[in-house]
Amino acid sequence: MKLSIGYSLTYELEQPTPMITMLSVHYSRISDLVAPDTLTTDPSTPYVSYRDSFGNWCNRVVAPAGIFRLRSDTVINDTGLPDEVAPLARQHPVENLPEETLRFLLPSRYCESDRFLDAAWELFGRTPPSWERAQAISEWVHGHIAFGYEWARPSKTAWDAFEERQGVCRDYAHLGIALSRAMNIPARYCTGYLGDIGVPASPDPMDFSGWYEVFMGGRWLTVDPRNLVPRIGRVLIGHGRDAADVAITTTFGPNVLKDFRVWTHEVVPGEPLQPDGRPRHEDIDDARGT
């Protein structure tokens, strides 16, 4: 299957302002792109691309004063398969973990796993050290937190979500990560596209989604306590220790986000395409989910 994915972000800036963006499809999915995932700016402004310490693609730009828009619109191939379910995956003893996974065992800015040691072992200490344990954590988080955009705030940590019992997808992920690390399971935060494919359409405006991955059975496996069930059409943008490592934009100066739109939907067979393979949207508002 093919997915149409993209975004449009509009800022109002008082002065020329340095900005870092992490909006490009992750390098692990580059070969799936039908058309380039190219960041365009309005007004046209030069930028420099680089990969951070986690391998995520980033861009550096000095945004001019006034109205500044970031946009991309592309198509990506997808297997159409739901997230992997791995009932035979086993938890690795810490001494046998690959070195590159060890930093995902440590407490981080939003995932204070050291504060969860007693609670995690009381809740999950009797579960098998396997995929069953990872799923038990996800199911518990899903039932513990009530979802609502009105409860989002950039400073909220896993411990805050644990005590307040409400939040958005990143709070579900942060709490699951903190509990997993407390149980000696490497866990990393992920952000990307996740549309309503194979599930009833949500009436809410679309946003980028947050979930996490655990290292188990020799590979990274997707865990999504917000949605709980395996989903189709997940497109990774970046991963890190927590949301601080994968902020879609980091702006070094006063700014106002005037408009924020994200879209992802399945390309319908026979839908008219542009020469570069993208759907012929009359306007980005025609893209489902914006």
Per-residue pLDDT tens over the stretch 136-176:
999 999 999 999 999 999 999 999 999 999 999 999 999 99
Given a cut of 90, whether residue 40 has pLDDT beyond it is yes
What is the average per-residue pLDDT within 88-95?
Answer: 98
pLDDT score of 286: 37
pLDDT score of 251: 97
> Does 203 sit behind a cis peptide bond, omega within 30 degrees of 0 on the bond before it?
no
Given a cut of 70, whether residue 288 has pLDDT beyond it is no
- Gap between the Cα atoms of 160 and 155, Å rounded: 9
pLDDT score of 274: 57
Given a cut of 80, whether residue 277 has pLDDT beyond it is no
Given a cut of 70, whether residue 285 has pLDDT beyond it is no
What is the average per-residue pLDDT within 4-21?
Answer: 98
Q: What percent of the chain has pLDDT over 90?
A: 89
What is the average per-residue pLDDT within 112-136?
Answer: 98
Q: What is the pTM of this model?
A: 0.92
Q: Where are the beta strands (DSSP E) in the chain?
A: 2-13, 17-21, 40-42, 47-51, 57-63, 66-77, 146-147, 166-167, 187-193, 209-216, 219-223, 235-240, 249-251, 255-266
pLDDT score of 279: 54
Work out the mean pLDDT of the chain and round it to a whole number: 93
Domains and CATH numbers, the chain: 2-79+247-267 (2.60.40.2250), 94-246 (3.10.620.30)
What is the average per-residue pLDDT within 232-249?
Answer: 97
How many angstroms separate the Cα of 176 from the Cα of each of 86, 181, 231, 242, 280? 18, 9, 18, 11, 39
The neighbouring-strand residues paired with 73 are: 6
Q: 210 is written with which tokens?
A: 């947050």
Residue 158: burial class (beta carbons within 10 Å; 0-12, 13-18, 19+): buried
